[in-house]
Amino acid sequence: MHQPAPSADLRHRTIEAPAGRLHLVEQGTGPLVLLVHGFPESWYSWRRQLPALATAGYRAVALDVRGYGRSSKPAATDAYRMLDLVEDNVALVRALGEERAVIVGHDWGSGIAAASALLHPEVFRAVGLLSVPYAPPGGPRPTDVFARMGGDQEFYVSYFQEPGRAEAEMEPDLRGWLAGFYAAMSADTMPTPGEPDPHFVARTGGRLRDRFPGGSLPAWLTEDDLDVYAGEFERTGMTGALNRYRNMDRDWEDLAPYGGAPIEQPSLFIGGALDASTTWMADAIDAYPATLPGLTSSHILDGCGHWIQQERPEEVNRLLTSWLDSLQG
């Protein structure tokens, strides 16, 4: 197996984009692969993939999505709608001097990658989805769906909707909150069946962190890694990241013309068997023959939680590079 190139080979850049500026980190030369992170992360969540893809002969680029890290953080809540994030990705490909790219996303990045491929198939020639399955636009209004979940408890996406509410829980102790959130969805530290579900809060005075596991960090997350993530959010605050959730109804309206639309390009899916995103959206995975007709590689990793490319970097790197190599034929 190739040894990944050292981190010193990472190149930080800032480009002009609809967001204002986008910060990215790149490594390697060859066909462009754009890596899109999720919540609450940054380009750093791809730190194990950048050298592996570079070694395999690809130009790997991980960005800070608008509102995160060193990218611009527009003030308006509706500046975080999916259509704007897609246009950021198109602008990034162009700014890098390329016409086309493969796009790979994790968590919210999976949804952003899917929308980018759906709206701009001429730019994004293939799409990789990690943790969150593809479900075509359409169906009931998202906030109505989330409001019905949980009964006497409130689903976390609903909890995130009111500006300032979740920030008031997170920002007084960002490092502690992030540690708990990461642990709550990691295979080796997540609550056991029967314990309170950390995706929900009590409707009266509840906080997400009330259900986070205590104790040690997950095995994939070192104290230094946590310092990196916490340092970014200490500087930016959480509003830019949370505004993604606050645009789900706008996205539903914006993408209505694409209701039920499949993604035709070659695609990859990797999910964790212990990840709620995989289990709750099992029907979406079952529908892949219709919704992802170009699916060429699909894997559920046993014993893996939500932070898939960080929990199982070697396995994800092997699956990702094998799939990318298959696209070159």
Looking up tokens 């390329």 gives 98
User: 173 Cβ partners below 8 Å, 6+ apart?
Assistant: none
In three-state secondary structure terms, 165 is helix
Report which DSSP code applies to 151.
T
- Residues β-bridged to residue 294: none
- The single residue of 107, 251, 254, 275 carrying the catalytic annotation is 107
Tokens, residue 298: 């699909």
Query: Catalytic pick from 23, 106, 199, 306?
Result: 306
Contacts of 272 (CB under 8 A, 6+ apart): 131, 187, 278, 300, 301, 304, 305, 306, 308, 311, 312
State yes or no: is 306 an active-site residue: yes
Contacts 24+ apart (CB under 8 A), 326-329: 326/266, 326/296, 326/297, 327/102, 327/125, 327/126, 327/266, 328/31
Contact 74, 62 (CB under 8 A): no
Give which of 104, 106, 130 is closest to 117, Cα–Cα. Answer: 104
Residue numbers annotated as active site: 107, 306
